[in-house]
Amino acid sequence: MSKNKQDITLQCKPMSTGIAIGKAFIYRDILTRDISSYNISEKNVTHELRRITKALSSVKRDLYKLSRSVSHSMSSKEGSIFEAQRLMLDDNEFTGLFETEMRNELTNAEQVTKNVFRKYINRFENLENEIIKSKTEDLHDILRKMLRHLLGIDTNILARLPENSIIISRRLLPSDTIILDRNHVKGIIVEEGSIHAHSAIIARSLGIPALVTNEKMLQEIQDRTTVIIDGFSGKAIINPLYSTAGIYRNRQSAIGNELSKKIRSVKGYAKTVSGRTIKLMANANTLQEVQNAEECGCDGIGLFRTEGIYLQHKSLPDEEELYVHLKNALEPAGNIPITVRVLDIGGDKRLPYFQLNNEVSPFLGLRGIRLLLRNPALLKTQINVLLKLHQEFNLRVLLPMVTLPEEVSAVYNMIEGCQKDLKHILKKKNIRLGCMIETPASALAIDEFLQVSDFISIGTNDLIQYVMAASRENPDVADYYEKGIDYILPLIKNIANACKKAGKECSVCGEIVNEEHCLKKFMDCGIDQFSISAFRIPHLKAYIRELK
Ligand code: PEP
Ligand code: MG
């Protein structure tokens, strides 16, 4: 891609609709960035070694704080993981390697650090022992921290973006997207991802256009080049002509006008021509998104994902911090119904300060409720907070990734215990507890789940991936995933019938419902409640009002 060539059009896959015009912001994981390497003279060795010693002390200090806060809010077992990382940096044999490498190679501190860690990581990777092998992730993590300290890089580079940024990255992790500077991000282009990936979900919930491309854009595009994203057709236009940018600006303002017209007429449930009422609630992760949902005329918050709140903290929030943060985020919802999902980590969703085992198949491992039941302190903190918030909001609790009815019963027992402990402050009892149906087992055994749950929420993002055996994150199997809707429809019909018979509410909250024709398919299965991206609510209410 030549630097001066104009109007270069790349056909990509849309992940989130809309038009964005902005400047490229190239984002690279620190481990994949080119870090300068230069030779030093003998007399500079002491200076460079001092830089390494300083970075080591800072990282040790960070790890110490992390280990203390995790031990306090979870258990000493989790805290000990960071303590072990810290002790490794205290080991003279290990730290001695930096001096040896520097004297042998006479190169700068960053390069020496990379070399020492790479050698160590290679040694671990070549071992037969799976447990030791899995420690390489820890080493990558420490290396990232060391490089950040050496380079003086702000960890949250994505939290303070230049104005009008279009982020271009190999991939964005959920932890990256959650800290995004929402005021200045205008669009996202990733080289790896799919419409069902969490980064795509977040882009849609922010109303930011996003694309996934097959091209190696990172190497080709210069920082701050003008980029247009057409999230409808999937086109990315690099370095557009003045006339092209003008056409897209006009389209942008036409879309804006149409949306504000729809928003003005959106309040109240949508009813089809024949009088069937459909509830459209919103998915949200943050205060801003709850505000957006309210402005877009949602009939409730059908899925509040708590991962965003956790990701905004530097270490595990304690009960008080979680209460304050969650209350603040839910405030704009006022009295409308809110469904808060307890923490759903595992799979691709990780918290930087919470060490997960390196599982061979994380999507089939300790995810969602499985992980919480293994870490009861983590779950209990959330239950206590939700019981308190239940006093002030119209709130119910949702469990992610359930597979067995006994998981729900175990949470019920915990709620009862927490209610007893808090009985002096709880006036309103009987918080409603629901489960997400997103595994084939729970979909097939819906009657058993209805006996232990107050309501049901079907998570099609995961249900499709598990039914089709096709990862939602992997573009190579996107064709399988895309065909999934027709394969899950018989399950949906069965769940809708079972819920009606049991007199319990049932909604669908996967991303697929953002598409009109998919929403219609679920309505035809008997579903009357949905939870979707806030910005789609005005369009879909208008669509429903025209249906027979
Ligand atoms: C789902 O799986 O459909 C869902 C809504 O949950 P998440 O996308 O957060 O996994
Ligand atoms: Mg899910």
Residue 49 placed within a domain: yes
Task: Check residue 189 and give its pLDDT.
Answer: 93
Residue 156 placed within a domain: yes
Does 315 lie in the same domain as 187? no
Higher pLDDT, 262 or 460: 460
Does 297 lie in the same domain as 234? no
Does 316 lie in the same domain as 173? no
State the closest ligand 1 atom to the C-alpha of 457, by its place in the atom list counted from 1.
Answer: 5
How many domains are contained in the chain? 2
CATH code (residue 142)? 1.10.274.10
Higher pLDDT, 43 or 126: 43
Average pLDDT on 126-134 reads 65
What separation in Å is there between the alpha carbon of 196 and the centre of ligand 1?
9
Name the burial class of residue 286, with classes exposed (0-12), middle (13-18) and buried (19+) by CB atoms within 10 angstroms of its CB.
buried
The pLDDT of residue 168 is above 70 = yes
What separation in Å is there between the alpha carbon of 279 and the centre of ligand 2?
21
Task: Check residue 258 and give its pLDDT.
Answer: 76
Does 272 lie in the same domain as 363? yes
Please tell me the distance from the alpha carbon of residue 236 to that of residue 5, in angstroms, as a whole number. 14
Mutate-to-test residue for ligand 1 from 177, 307, 344, highest number of ligand atoms within 8 A of CB: 344
Q: What percent of the chain has pLDDT over 90?
A: 53
The pLDDT of residue 265 is above 70 = no
Task: Check residue 133 and give its pLDDT.
Answer: 61
Number of the ligand closest to the Cα of 463: 1
Does 140 lie in the same domain as 7? yes
Task: Check residue 69 and give its pLDDT.
Answer: 66
Last residue of a domain, one of 213, 245, 277: 245
Does 215 lie in the same domain as 124? yes
Residue 385 placed within a domain: yes
**Ligand 1, atom 6, residue with closest C-alpha:** 459
What Rg, from alpha-carbon coordinates, does the chain have?
Answer: 25
Last residue of a domain, one of 245, 276, 293: 245
Residue 83 placed within a domain: yes
Higher pLDDT, 445 or 347: 445
Residue 203 placed within a domain: yes
Last residue of a domain, one of 214, 245, 276: 245
Average pLDDT on 398-413 reads 98
The pLDDT of residue 508 is above 80 = yes
Does 338 lie in the same domain as 240? no
Mutate-to-test residue for ligand 1 from 305, 399, 491, highest number of ligand atoms within 8 A of CB: 305
What separation in Å is there between the alpha carbon of 252 and the centre of ligand 2?
32
Q: Which residue has the tokens 């249900």?
A: 463
Residue 250 placed within a domain: no
Please tell me the distance from the alpha carbon of residue 464 to that of residue 482, in angstroms, as a whole number. 9
Mutate-to-test residue for ligand 1 from 285, 439, 457, 462, highest number of ligand atoms within 8 A of CB: 462
Task: Check residue 544 and give its pLDDT.
Answer: 95
DSSP 535: G
State the closest ligand 1 atom to the C-alpha of 347, by its place in the atom list counted from 1.
Answer: 10
Residue 67's domain comprises 1-245
State the closest ligand 1 atom to the C-alpha of 305, by its place in the atom list counted from 1.
Answer: 9
Confidence of residue 198 (pLDDT cuts 50, 70, 90): low
* Residues framing ligand 1 (Cβ under 6 A): 201, 303, 305, 344, 438, 459-462, 509-510
Q: Cβ(285)–Cβ(304) under 8 Å?
A: yes
Average pLDDT on 541-545 reads 92
Average pLDDT on 263-279 reads 86
Residue 257 placed within a domain: no
Task: Check residue 85 and give its pLDDT.
Answer: 78
**Ligand 1, atom 1, residue with closest C-alpha:** 459
Confidence of residue 63 (pLDDT cuts 50, 70, 90): confident
Task: Check residue 349 and give its pLDDT.
Answer: 79
The pLDDT of residue 3 is above 60 = no
Higher pLDDT, 315 or 460: 460
**Ligand 1, atom 3, residue with closest C-alpha:** 459
Average pLDDT on 437-446 reads 98
Residue 147 placed within a domain: yes
Does 281 lie in the same domain as 239? no
State the closest ligand 1 atom to the C-alpha of 458, by its place in the atom list counted from 1.
Answer: 3
What separation in Å is there between the alpha carbon of 214 and the centre of ligand 1?
25
Confidence of residue 445 (pLDDT cuts 50, 70, 90): very high
How many secondary structure helices (H) and strands (E) does the chain include? 23, 17
**pLDDT tens digits for 67-110?**
776 666 556 666 676 777 788 888 888 889 999 999 999 999 99
The pLDDT of residue 148 is above 70 = yes
Confidence of residue 141 (pLDDT cuts 50, 70, 90): confident
Confidence of residue 320 (pLDDT cuts 50, 70, 90): very high
What separation in Å is there between the alpha carbon of 447 and the centre of ligand 1?
22
Higher pLDDT, 530 or 82: 530
Does 211 lie in the same domain as 284? no
Angle at 430 between CA 425 and CA 433, to 5 degrees: 120
pTM above 0.85, yes or no: no
Does 494 lie in the same domain as 424? yes
Crossing angle for the helix pair 109-125 and 136-151, to the nearest 10 degrees: 180
What does the block give as tokens for 373? 């039941």
Q: What percent of the chain has pLDDT over 70?
A: 91
Does 232 lie in the same domain as 320? no
Does 267 lie in the same domain as 241? no
What separation in Å is there between the alpha carbon of 436 and the centre of ligand 1?
9
Active site residue ranges: 198, 509
The pLDDT of residue 266 is above 80 = no
CA distances from 158 to 183, 330, 416, 488, 512 (A): 11, 24, 41, 37, 28
Number of the ligand closest to the Cα of 341: 1
CATH code (residue 343)? 3.20.20.60
Task: Check residue 502 and give its pLDDT.
Answer: 98
Highest averaged pLDDT of the listed ranges 28-32, 151-155, 503-507 = 503-507
**Ligand 1, atom 8, residue with closest C-alpha:** 461
Task: Check residue 135 and give its pLDDT.
Answer: 67
**pLDDT tens digits for 202-260?**
788 778 899 998 777 667 788 899 999 999 999 999 999 988 998 999 888 888 777 77
Q: What is the 3-state secondary structure (H, E, C) of 364-391?
A: HCCCHHHHHHHCHHHHHHHHHHHHHHCC
